[in-house]
Amino acid sequence: MAREELTRGRRLGGVEVIRWQDEPIEQLGVGIRRRMLNGDAMTLAEISLSAGAVVPLHDHPNEQIATIVSGRLRFVVGEEEREVGAGESVRIPGGVPHRVEALEDSLVLDVFAPRRDDWLRGDDAYLRR
């Protein structure tokens, strides 16, 4: 089944209402779980990271804004390293290499534009190590 078919919702007029609890949770790498919603031009992902989990160095053409809902993370973006916590966001331009380490159990909302078609195709092996 295509990943796009897994996103469920109901329409109220022209508005689609989607419930996070109805979306499947994907177990990725050790201590990394994801569920996502996809529009025509953007992806919104809820990422759960256990303390010590690492998203390895990678890049993608999509602009990304990561908002930390809870926990604490260390981001390395290009040559800069920053620790961020709940209520803070990190903007990562498209094409810039970056990695993330969870310093505590953390919950992050990631917004990507354009949409993460690579994730929809399953081309996200860097997250599944």
**For residue 20, is it within any domain?**
no
Q: Which of 64, 66, 92 is nearest to 80 (CA)?
A: 92
**For residue 92, is it within any domain?**
yes
Instruction: Report d(CA 50, CA 31) in Å as an integer.
Output: 5
- Sign, CA torsion 52/86/65/39: positive
Q: For residue 24, is the peptide bond before it cis, meaning its omega torsion is within 30 degrees of 0?
A: no
- Reported as a single tens digit per residue, the pLDDT across 2-49 is 444 444 566 656 788 889 999 999 999 999 999 999 999 999 999 999
pLDDT of residue 5: 41
What residue numbers bound the domain in which 34 lies?
25-127
The DSSP element (H or E) to which 120 belongs, if any, is helix 117-121
CATH number of the domain encompassing residue 60: 2.60.120.10
* Cross-strand partners of 92: 64
Instruction: Report d(CA 50, CA 23) in Å as an integer.
Output: 20
- Reported as a single tens digit per residue, the pLDDT across 81-108 is 999 999 999 999 999 999 999 999 999 9
**For residue 54, is it within any domain?**
yes
CB 75 within 8 A of CB 90: yes
Number of domains present in the structure of the chain: 1
Sheet with 72-77, side-by-side order of all strands: 54-58, 98-102, 72-77, 80-85
Q: Does residue 73 carry a pLDDT above 60?
A: yes
pLDDT of residue 8: 54
* Angle formed at CA 1 by CA 41 and CA 128, multiple of 5 degrees: 75
pTM over 0.85: yes
